[in-house]
Structure 1
Amino acid sequence: MTPIRIRRRAPDDACRQACSPDDLLTAIYANRGLMDPTQAAPGLADLAPVSQLRGLDAAVDLLAERLRGGGHIVVVGDYDADGATGSAVAVRGLRALGAARVSFLVPSRFDNGYGLSPAVVEAAAELAPDLIMTVDNGISSLSGVERANALGIPVLVTDHHLPGERIPDAAAIVNPNQGGCAFPSKHLAGVGVVFYLLVALRTRLRETGWLGADRREPNLAELLDLVALGTVADVVTLDRNNRILVEQGLRRIRAGRCCAGVKALLEVAGRDPSRVTATDLGFFAAPRLNAAGRLEEMSLGVDCLITEDPARAAEMARQLHELNRRRREIEDGMKDEAELLLETLSLDGEALPPALCLFGEDWHQGVSGIVAARIRERYHRPVIAFADAGDGRLRGSARSIDGLHMRDAIDLVDRTHPGLVERFGGHAMAAGLTLRSACLDPFRDAFVEAVRAQLGDVPPQPEILSDGALPPRLMSLETAELLRLAGPWGKGFPEPCFDGSFEVLSARLVGERHLKLRVSPEPGLQIDAIGFNLGEHLSRACGKIRLAYRLDVNEYRGVRAPQLMLDHLEALT
């Protein structure tokens, strides 16, 4: 395990001085640069204007023309939760705006790989589309768009991934990260881009008389539950704009105004929709949705989000729940294999390299990204986990650490060692790539050197940013309830984390790998704590310890109580 350092955000430790939960929240917001608490929950009117998105007029022209002509629009999504929610938003939104024919197609992770490939275009062409609209992909699909053009099928690309040196020759491209786009929120998820496009399309259709007395204008805010789920699931930065989208979506879910699929996913995961938070979306609903794309086909997930029938949504959610259970079993086995591989790397006292490229002959393509994330968390190294694609190629899922832009690192390898990488794309923290099996060793060497050039032989020590010490008097249910609903919390606007010393009263394992504690911050006060996947620290959980933790609510048999959610544990001498 890589040593972890706890660093406090505010040297004056303002949280310790808080006299009430409201005072505490004010200090927490200030630690995140939000000095006016009244600005913590802006409304939809505060969203960045849609008009600043480059390519919007051309995209709206394409869609409006197909709606008026009764044309067939085929939505091509991605096989993750962002792609699934984005596809559902596109289908539901276009139908609500009066589209006569809208279908969706999700590429297979196993047969097609990521994006609008020529093979996916051929599959879409069998549906006789008048327009292909990509969701959460397409900005790197040069050959796919070229094939669609050859078949006479215009392509509208909606994406949020970083473009390469060339962009496809599409009929229109909407992507806040394309060159020359003035849209201020560069962190929109794919589902957010689609939502913005639909808002612009509705305005055009209203102005041209398509919407009016004979055709009811839809309330597109009804799609915000899906926008919130996809945005949180894709772990994009929760800048002000994304916080608005997520918060408004959460409010709709809590009020019982979400779609049947979102409600079913939360309920099958044991979460109460009326109390839902961004954490519930990210750690409970999203994994079940993602399980379809990881083990089978994401069509099941999209269907779950599109259906208006609660019974059908509940049945599909149960299927997704079972897929997620299988996914966890596969992941556990792969993680154990990866750990064995790492042990061989550190024989004879040799240190781990600055980056890790791991391969398992029997690893599942759909779970390799999760394994890469788990290994990254444990060893604080950029990790690429490769699985056999079955055609002489390997597909890798990459996860990075702070300080290394993963997509740029792979791009550097591609430019300095042409021919090693066949396809790649992604973000700063996550990426995917394909290479021939024979190229694994030279790619590993080149990738390690690319990372070493940026991070050195040993990446910087990982740290936990703490808001400081939480006064024992505020370790209450009232405080926990307030913090749960004060977000939305996520990347770029992290959930409050505190640190302090405690006396361990009892310690045990639950579920084989989770650490359950009863601790005391001061004489006369006791509180429960749980550390998921921290079971290996059981031997240290005695006497006086230092904890980094989040304050949350535990509900058991109808009783709600405050609980510490552990991120880190250190023994104090």
Structure 2
Amino acid sequence: MLKSNYRWILKRADEEKVRALTDALHISTLTARLLVLRGIDRPNKADIFLHTEKAQFHDPMKMLGMKEAAERIIRAVRDQEVIRVFGDYDADGVTSTALLIRALRKMGARVTSYIPNRFKDGYGPNVRAVEKAEEDRVGLIVTVDSGIAALEAASRARKLGIDYIVTDHHEPPAVLPNAFAILNPKQPGCDYPFKGLSGAGVALKLVQAVCPDQLNDGWIALASVGTVADLVPMRDENRLIVSKGLRAMDGGSLAGIDALKIKAGINGTMDSDMIGFQLAPRLNAAGRLADADAALCLLLADSAGEAAPLADRLEELNRQRKALADKIMIEADKEASGYYRRGDKALVLAGKNWHQGVIGIVASRIVEKYYRPTIILSIDEQSGAAKGSGRSIDGFNLYRGLERSSEHLTQFGGHQMAAGLSLPEEEIDAFREDFNLAAAESLDDQAFVPRLAVDGECTPDQITVDQIEELDKMAPFGTDNPRPTFRMDTVRLSKISAAGREKAHLKVTFQGREKELDGIGFGLGGRLEQISPIDCPTVIGNCSINEWNGFRKPQFLIEDLCIDGPQIFDWRSEQRIREKISALPSESATLLAFHPESAERLRIGNSVTLFEPGMSVSRPNLVLLDLPEQEDQLSELTVNSPRVHRVYAVFYHQREHYFSSFPSRNHFVWYYALIRQEHSFMLDVMAQKIARYKGWPERTIHFMTKVFFELGFVKIEKGLLTENSAPVKAPLTASLTYRKEKKQLELEDLFCYSPLSSLKTWFEKQMKYRDKATEPEGTMNGL
């Protein structure tokens, strides 16, 4: 048995709707089921979803406040007022800022920008920045990706006579800023048909309103980067923005984006993962370690020569960001492992002067490793203040957990899955205790196993290049439209190995009824030793096309796997037995021998358990070092050991088969006839003659002689064999030697020389008896 790393949640679709979509759009059942699961169950909507080129942008004027905002901006451009764009330091904020500045410049505006410094200014617009704008004779401030909760900044702008427009996408508070206009599809009273835009998406709608005939690919490319980076739902208008943006980037959009692609090593067709994992982290690195000016300047660059050094700067900052995160991760992980072993339900980790710009990344990585709600705190040695970032897991509202522990906190804010906080250093231990208590009250043991949603089931035969290309029409993938995940049940393996540097990846070939399918599990190389070649795992993953040397093949990207039932590992010809055994966790493995001398001959040591009749084994891994005297001994042991799910078959025996083949009855008849003919002969001399004449091994002849001796058919004295003239009739089985050797041969055939599949069948049969015997009374199969 091999357990999965995740709890698999198999989604169920309305099969009638699936059939209707399949028939109407002439698509595969797999694709139709995915559409239905995403709530796209009408043919017209599904057709547009699969063909984004048929989609249209929503009318920007449907957004509450758009008319007022657009008119005010157009007037400011006409009157040559200075417009200042207030942005944010993350990728969504920087792309929003660049997008609006580019559009305003295209209109001929006098435009400047302000992006707060994470460490000096904190998040969002602030009063100091507004006052600086007044000093600079700014007539209009437009916020992007921020401002919906910045009441003081808006109030100060009004007092200073600066018109203040908010464009934001975050959840609005109960009290809204006193602004000239607010653009936020989530604000009360806004009838805009899509509420899931990013900050860059809202900025794009504003640009569409003020520049309806000038929208270009570069602007949409910026909006697509912000949309993917901010993890907003990849639905509705967001899919259209990202689809158009990806196509624009493929053709070359802005000098800054092109320079980022070069640094990231992207030279093929762009997809949303490349934005999320390659471009966005480089843009974010500037705001995490310093300020976001380098990122903004890059996105405003108009030539490759101007963009290249800025991209170099971001690449260096990203390298530093990775190094910082790795260093803190090592320190935080040491601390986390202790609390994890202690049984903490949540992890509160603190370190001196950990860089505040990367502790959120580290929190996410700790959650990924330990799957516990995690708070990472950076303690300022001078002030004694600790500032932190938190990440949560499904089922635990991080913000509510901080509320429960708020008596220790100076400040906190956030939502269910992420939050920020600050507190005095001396309160950390008390906060850890209370926060753990909050987590323990909310989470049961099952909650600490991460969930993995599964869209449907498939077979190796179904995964073809054509099928994958059809599934790819559901791209771009992202939040609320994840890459399709499928389950393949108990699939046979024709090949299995480890691949990559340090054998980190698991490489397999699945055997379907009609064809084979390659599979790769990145980071799963350690599971190779946990999978027997005859296992039929159930695997979870998604599909991709592997292109190499002009060939295109389907492949299955394994995310998780499990194996039900017993597993049998063949170590019968293994030369590195001691090395293999040492790799097994000692607390989960029993080394069992039926003969005391086996451990000594194998040079294993004194950790071997000697078989006793009626015994049971309590550990899940059972290493069978040698052969039992009788098959029933091993059968009894297996039935008595319900916790054993993996058997490692060594079955050491000192000699090979005693015979190349066990002598048949005809062998005995021929040899006895010779004895009766000769009456008497020297055994050694005759054995040599028979061996040459019949081609039998001499040991076969000596064995038959011993059987005849035990049956009283012959006498042997000083090497001379003499016929017993009046023997008592007896079957061959009356000889102890005959029975013992025949039984030994049968044991060797069954356990030492049979195919591994036959060995597994034998153990499965015993375990069925075992499991049936331990089944609770009244249990019904299938319930």
One fold, TM greater than 0.5? yes
Residue 83 of structure 1, CA deviation = 0.8
Residue 460 of structure 1, CA deviation = 6.5
1:387 and 2:393 are equivalent in the alignment = no
2:222 to 212, 223, 226: 226
Which residue matches 2:238?
242
Mapped contact 1:269–1:284 kept (Cα < 8 A): yes
Instruction: Tell me which moved more, 119-128 or 160-169.
Output: 119-128
Which residue matches 1:489?
477
Q: Deviations over 1:48-95 (max 9, x none)?
A: 432332232332243223212211122121111111111111111111
Residue 524 of structure 1, CA deviation = 8.2
Mapped contact 1:199–1:220 kept (Cα < 8 A): no
Mapped contact 1:54–1:180 kept (Cα < 8 A): yes
Pair 1:148–1:439, CA change in 2 (3 A): farther
1:89 and 2:99 are equivalent in the alignment = yes
For 1:307 and 1:107, locate their aligned partners in 2 and report how far apart those are by CA, in whole Å. Answer: 20
Mapped contact 1:383–1:400 kept (Cα < 8 A): yes
1:397 and 2:389 are equivalent in the alignment = yes
Mapped contact 1:507–1:542 kept (Cα < 8 A): no
Which residue matches 1:359?
350
Mapped contact 1:277–1:485 kept (Cα < 8 A): no
Instruction: Tell me which moved more, 471-480 or 83-92.
Output: 471-480
List aligned pairs for 1:469-484, cutoff 5 A: 469-484=457-472
Pair 1:300–1:270, CA change in 2 (3 A): same
1:269 to 256, 264, 274: 264
Which residue matches 1:517?
507
Residue 4 of structure 1, CA deviation = 1.3
CA RMSD of aligned residues (A): 3.4
SS in 1 for 2:456: coil
For 1:443 and 1:168, locate their aligned partners in 2 and report how far apart those are by CA, in whole Å. Answer: 33
Which residue matches 1:306?
300
Mapped contact 1:56–1:174 kept (Cα < 8 A): yes
List aligned pairs for 1:178-257, cutoff 5 A: 178-202=187-211, 217-220=213-216, 222-254=218-250, 256-257=251-252
Instruction: Tell me which moved more, 292-301 or 529-538.
Output: 529-538
1:375 to 360, 366, 371: 366
Which residue matches 1:551?
543
Residue 31 of structure 1, CA deviation = 2.8
Which residue matches 2:146?
137
Which residue matches 2:60?
50
Mapped contact 2:82–2:137 kept (Cα < 8 A): yes
Residue 517 of structure 1, CA deviation = 1.4
Residue 511 of structure 1, CA deviation = 4.8
Which residue matches 2:340?
346
Pair 1:2–1:28, CA change in 2 (3 A): closer
Which residue matches 1:316?
310
1:566 and 2:566 are equivalent in the alignment = no
Pair member with larger Rg: 2
Mapped contact 2:208–2:215 kept (Cα < 8 A): no
SS in 1 for 2:171: coil
For 1:511 and 1:104, locate their aligned partners in 2 and report how far apart those are by CA, in whole Å. Answer: 46
For 1:31 and 1:231, locate their aligned partners in 2 and report how far apart those are by CA, in whole Å. Answer: 23
Mapped contact 2:83–2:111 kept (Cα < 8 A): yes
Which residue matches 1:170?
179
Mapped contact 2:14–2:36 kept (Cα < 8 A): no
Mapped contact 2:509–2:518 kept (Cα < 8 A): yes
For 2:305 and 2:454, locate their aligned partners in 1 and report how far apart those are by CA, in whole Å. Answer: 44
Residue 157 of structure 1, CA deviation = 1.8
List aligned pairs for 1:272-291, cutoff 5 A: 272=267, 275-291=269-285
Residue 286 of structure 1, CA deviation = 1.4
For 1:487 and 1:298, locate their aligned partners in 2 and report how far apart those are by CA, in whole Å. Answer: 30
Mapped contact 1:504–1:541 kept (Cα < 8 A): no
SS in 1 for 2:211: helix
1:113 to 98, 103, 122: 122
For 1:419 and 1:351, locate their aligned partners in 2 and report how far apart those are by CA, in whole Å. Answer: 22
Instruction: Tell me which moved more, 471-480 or 256-265.
Output: 471-480
2:164 to 155, 165, 179: 155
Mapped contact 1:507–1:541 kept (Cα < 8 A): no
Which residue matches 1:507?
497
Aligned length: 548
TM-score, with structure 1 as normaliser: 0.84
User: Please, which runs of 5 or more residues in structure 2 have no aligned partner?
Assistant: 568-783
Pair 1:331–1:485, CA change in 2 (3 A): farther
Residue 178 of structure 1, CA deviation = 2.4
1:67 and 2:77 are equivalent in the alignment = yes
SS in 2 for 1:459: helix
2:90 partner amino acid: D
User: Please, which runs of 5 or more residues in structure 1 have no aligned partner?
Assistant: 204-216
Pair 1:344–1:221, CA change in 2 (3 A): same
Mapped contact 1:502–1:547 kept (Cα < 8 A): no
1:422 and 2:411 are equivalent in the alignment = yes
Residue 194 of structure 1, CA deviation = 0.8
Mapped contact 2:252–2:258 kept (Cα < 8 A): no
